[in-house]
């Protein structure tokens, strides 16, 4: 049995909450938990040079309707160009490696993240991801608040020393 909670009131004040027992009419085998194995990730998602994204949780694969999740790998000593993800909120969990993030109108703010750290990127925030090490990739789990793979490249030069931003690719739109 699975049910909803009903508030039972006495004299207009809540007395207690109890579960109303109802028989579920859902086929939980077909509409329950989905497992996407690590070797089943889908690379057919927008890419950025130096970064590899692979989708795990999408509407097409699992029936998810309000979020997208996948894996991202940033190659050693690689940095992306400045971009944002439109109205989407993004969370990145760093699994391995040492990431550096820049954000702001001129990418003037900087923070580093390592294994076990969560990174939150609010909607429309200009940012840049980098691998702060030259000897190993950064691996992370990405979760976004919507199904659209929005990536908008921005023409903001990086203040980070190096050889320049990664090249733009055909998946990314321009503002």
What pLDDT is stored for residue 169 in this prediction?
32
> Tell me, what's the pLDDT at 84?
92
**pLDDT at position 66:** 94
pLDDT score at 122: 98
The token pair at 168 is: 């733009």
**Residue 140, pLDDT score:** 97
pLDDT at 175: 32
**Nearby residues of 97 by Cβ (< 8 Å), 6 or more positions away:** 74, 114, 115, 131, 133, 136, 137, 138, 139
Per-residue pLDDT of the chain (175 residues; tens, 9 = 90+): 344 454 555 565 555 555 555 455 678 888 889 999 999 999 988 777 678 889 999 999 999 999 999 999 999 999 988 889 999 999 999 999 999 999 999 999 999 999 999 999 999 999 999 999 999 999 999 999 998 888 888 999 989 876 444 443 332 333 3
The model carries a pTM of 0.76
CA distances from 169 to 68, 118, 139, 150 (A): 21, 27, 21, 13
How far is residue 48 CA from its own chain's centroid?
Answer: 15
């Amino acid at each position: 049995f699975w049910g909803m909670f009903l508030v039972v009131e006495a004299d207009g004040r809540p007395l207690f909450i109890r579960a109303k027992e109802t028989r579920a009419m859902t086929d939980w085998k077909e509409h329950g938990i989905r497992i996407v194995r690590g070797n089943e990730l889908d690379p057919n998602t927008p890419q950025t040079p130096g970064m590899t994204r692979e989708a795990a949780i999408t509407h097409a694969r699992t029936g998810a309707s309000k979020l997208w999740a996948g894996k991202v790998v940033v190659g050693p000593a690689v940095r992306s160009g400045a971009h944002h993800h439109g109205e989407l909120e993004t969370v990145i969990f760093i699994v391995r490696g040492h990431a550096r993030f820049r954000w702001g109108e001129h990418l003037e703010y900087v923070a580093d993240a390592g294994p076990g750290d969560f990174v939150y990127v609010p909607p429309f925030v200009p940012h840049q991801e980098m691998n702060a090490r030259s000897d190993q990739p950064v691996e992370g789990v990405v979760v976004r608040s919507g199904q659209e793979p929005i990536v908008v490249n921005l023409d903001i030069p990086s203040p980070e020393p190096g050889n320049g931003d990664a090249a733009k690719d055909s998946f990314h739109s321009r503002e």
